[in-house]
Structure 1
């Protein structure tokens, strides 16, 4: 795993943006795996800026988001479709039909998982997968104990994950208990992965990722087995490695 250490969150976002654009420029029809949460917001702001300055185009890009809450309409401000629209999609020149987010309102969630997996397979997987890192080692919403062989599936959210995400809701009681998430094997089939980490709160998780055993008890540990992973983070997040 390659590691890039930056002084600040803003520098991390700018460097990550440059790295991603460089990878995209070598691809005719880039397929990107995208993440949500607070960590990639700076990356998306930089991508919008570069797009508006005509330094990168998304006209030939397809995107697949890692996950979506079950039970939230796409117009709900806490849904990940809404997040992606607000933080990226509506500001760039991407064709909306190429911007994929799982449908957490699907009547048949198992079919939604199969269909989403098939779309990713037809796109030949992500050329670049953007990831964040959960405090308990989750990637996407793959909680501890998720089999490394998992494909897109419905997951019961860990209490620690719901508590971490409660700041986005009026209370933890409003945080959904389930989500649709891309599986670990699906993520691992991405050709390259960029993992963004920021803040002192992530330092223990990063240290465990880098130095711990590969175990389903800490899902992100599987990244040790991927040939093309770049970890980019600020000094606070990388302070224990």
Structure 2
């Protein structure tokens, strides 16, 4: 596993965006696995600028997203389909039919099967972008004392995740308590994985990922130690907080 340390969160986001642009330049029909939440927003802003400036062409790019809240309509302003459209897809030259965000409505088992199919259709993602939760969750694969789930599934969100997500909602009772999520098998299938992290709330999870040898379900991100091409991108403040000197 590679660890990249930059001088700032903005520099980390720029580094990730540059990697995506280089991938698209080398493979115009690249398949990207994409994440939501606050962490990737500056990456998406950088990609929008790259597209506007002619440094990135998304016209043949395909995407698949990690997850979607259960119970939200796709046009709900807190759904992840809405998030992706407003933070990236509406501002670049990508074909919407080449983007996939799981449905959070209807039959959850069918939606999970459809997400698994989308992950592998035409080949696994060339690059999977990840954030990380305070408890080490990646996508919505929550920390668990004894198990993680391989295929896509409907996950019960932990109280800490619900609390972390509540900042995006007007009322605590509006925060979804379940989500459709790509499972660990889908994440690990990607040809390369880039995990971006910043902030004091991520210290313990990142310490377990980059400083400790254990692979444990209590910190799902640690399974990335087993991936042949995984990169963790953190800023100097976070690296110092976890004791990483590389």
TM-score by length of 1: 0.96
Residue 239 of structure 2: SS of its match in structure 1? coil
Shift of 1:147: 4.0
Give the 3-state SS of the residue equivalent to 2:238 in structure 1: coil
Q: Which residue of 1 aligns with 2:236?
A: 235
Question: Deviation digits for residues 153-196 of structure 1, max 9, x if unmatched?
Answer: 11001111000111001132111111000000110010000100
CA contact (8 A) 2:24 2:58 kept: no
User: What pairs up with 1:120-159 in 2 under 5 angstroms?
Assistant: 120-145=119-144, 147-148=147-148, 150-159=150-159
Q: Distance in 2 between matches of 1:169 and 1:199?
A: 21
CA–CA distance in structure 2, aligned partners of residues 119 and 163 of structure 1: 30
SS in 2 for 1:25: helix
1:49 maps to which residue? 49
- Cα separation, 2, equivalents of 1:204 and 1:137: 8
Q: Is the 8 A contact 2:24 2:57 kept in 1?
A: no
Q: 1:237 to 1:123 in 2, by over 3 A?
A: farther
Per-residue Cα deviation, 1:12-51 (whole angstroms, up to 9, x for no partner): 1111111221122222420100001111000000000000
Match of 2:35 in 1: 35
- What is the correspondence of 1:1-241 to structure 2 with a 5 Å cutoff? 1-105=1-105, 107-145=106-144, 147-148=147-148, 150-212=150-212, 213-239=214-240, 240=242, 241=244
In the alignment, is the contact (CA less than 8 A) between 2:150 and 2:185 conserved in 1?
A: yes
- Secondary structure of the residue aligned to 1:237 is helix
Q: CA deviation at 1:203?
A: 1.9
Q: Is the 8 A contact 2:126 2:190 kept in 1?
A: yes
Measure, in 2, the Cα distance between the counterparts of 1:150 and 1:59.
Answer: 32
Does the Cα contact within 8 Å between 1:131 and 1:140 map onto a contact in 2? yes
Q: Distance in 2 between matches of 1:219 and 1:181?
A: 13
Tell me the secondary structure at the aligned position of residue 173 of structure 2: helix
- Judge which range, 131-140 or 12-21, deviates more: 12-21
In 2, distance between residues paired with 1:122 and 1:82?
23
Q: Could you tell me the TM-score, scaled by structure 2's length?
A: 0.94
| CA RMSD between the two structures | 1.3
CA distance in 1, matches of 2:168, 2:25: 34
CA contact (8 A) 2:141 2:148 kept: no
* Conservation of the 8 A alpha-carbon contact between 2:102 and 2:114: no
Instruction: Report the Cα distance in structure 2 between the residues aligned to 1:54 and 1:111, rounded to whole angstroms.
Output: 39
SS at structure 2 position matched to 1:236 = helix
Render the CA deviation track for 1:45-101: whole Å, top value 9, x for unaligned: 000000011111111111001000001111111111111011000000000001100
Distance 2:119 2:150 in 1: 14
